[in-house]
Every structure is written in structure tokens, then in C-alpha cells.
Amino acid sequence: MRDWKLGHWAVLVLALTAPLGGCGDDDKDTEEQARIDKGLMLSPVPLNLEGKDRDLVGLGSYIVNAQAACNDCHTNPPFKPGGDPFKGEPEQINAEHFLAGGMPFGPTLVSPNITPDASGKPAGLDYEEFLHLLRTGQEEDGELLQVMPWPIYKNMSDRELRAVYEYLRAIPHAEPGP
């Protein structure tokens, strides 16, 4: 009888200490897939997926559009007329000038255009240059980025930064707004 009770206790202890949902690799894959799918739906502009990793583009869109708030500084103005949620209006992203820069921050600082150039490079940067910029905040001329929250973004994983880069490669080129 005693062995039977010990056996039940052992089963109970194992059941209570077993990993709960969200801890296994399958759950991580499911969570990332949900972010990828949501990212693909969130993009306010059409995406060119030709020759690109769909999952990285989707993850990048999720980071750019649901976490990093890139639109707030790199789109001028960020919202269409009548679509500014900060004024209680239903959100409508300014897709025509999406991430094309031109947002002023004081008398001399203006956000850059981070859409792909004619060669398909976001802001004209190859991936290594992009990675260096976001990890160090150091521009090519040695100046440090101001306003840009690179001290936070530098903590992103290599996969996350690669995903952001791939998303920026997949969006259409745009020019700054007025």
C-alpha cells in the first residue's frame, strides 16, 4: 500500500513540475510564427517577397510596426490626415511616405529615409553597415546617431536585426513627405 502512495506522489510531483505551455521549442516556434503572420498583416505597404525569406520579412515587419515604432520618426507625417490615433482618430499610416524620413528634430536634425535605394539597400546600407549602425550608433563619418534609440535596439538578437533589415528591403522605395 505504501509503495502505491509513493508512486502516486511521484506522478503528482512530476506532473506539477513538468514544463507548462509556452516552454517547449514547438511553443516558441508557434509564438514566432504568430509574430511573423501578424507582421505580414501589419505592413502598411505592399511587400516584395521575391528572393527574400518570407519569415524574416514578416518578423521584421512585426518588430518595425508592432514594437519599435519606426514609423513615428521615419515617416513625415506618420499618419494620414484624419488618421492620427493621438487625436482620437482611427489609425491610418501614411503609406505614401512610409519610412521615407524627413521628420525634423530641431533645427539641424532630420530623420533619414530608410526605404530601399535603387540597389535595394535600406538607407543605402548593406547588412554589415546596417548592423554596425544599430549596434554602435556610429555613422560612417564617425558621428553618433542622435534621437534614434540605438542604445536599445543594439540589444536585439542578430536574427531580429536581420529581420528588420529584410523587411526594409521588402518595402517600396518612398520619398519624404512635405
pLDDT digits (tens, 9 = 90+) for 59-86: 999 999 999 999 999 999 999 999 999 9
In this predicted structure, which of 17-21, 50-54, 144-148 has the lowest mean pLDDT?
17-21
Question: What are phi and psi for residue 158, nearest 5 degrees?
Answer: -60, -40
Q: What is the mean pLDDT of residues 111-130?
A: 97
The pLDDT score that the predictor gives to residue 62 is 98
Q: What is the mean pLDDT of residues 166-176?
A: 97
Residue at grid coordinates 535596439: 153
Percent residues over pLDDT 70 in the chain: 85
Give the whole-angstrom CA distance, residue 81 versus residue 156: 33
pLDDT band at 114 (very low <50, low <70, confident <90, very high): very high
Contacts 24+ apart (CB under 8 A), 151-157: 153/68, 156/63
Is 155 within 8 Å of 68 (Cβ atoms)? no
Question: For 127-166, how does the pLDDT look when each residue is reduced to its tens digit (9 = 90+)?
Answer: 999 999 999 999 999 999 999 999 999 999 999 999 999 9
Give the whole-angstrom CA distance, residue 172 versus residue 118: 10
Task: Collapse the DSSP code of 155 into the 3-class scheme (helix H, G, I; strand E, B; otherwise coil) and give the result.
Answer: coil
Residue at grid coordinates 532630420: 110
The pLDDT score that the predictor gives to residue 26 is 74
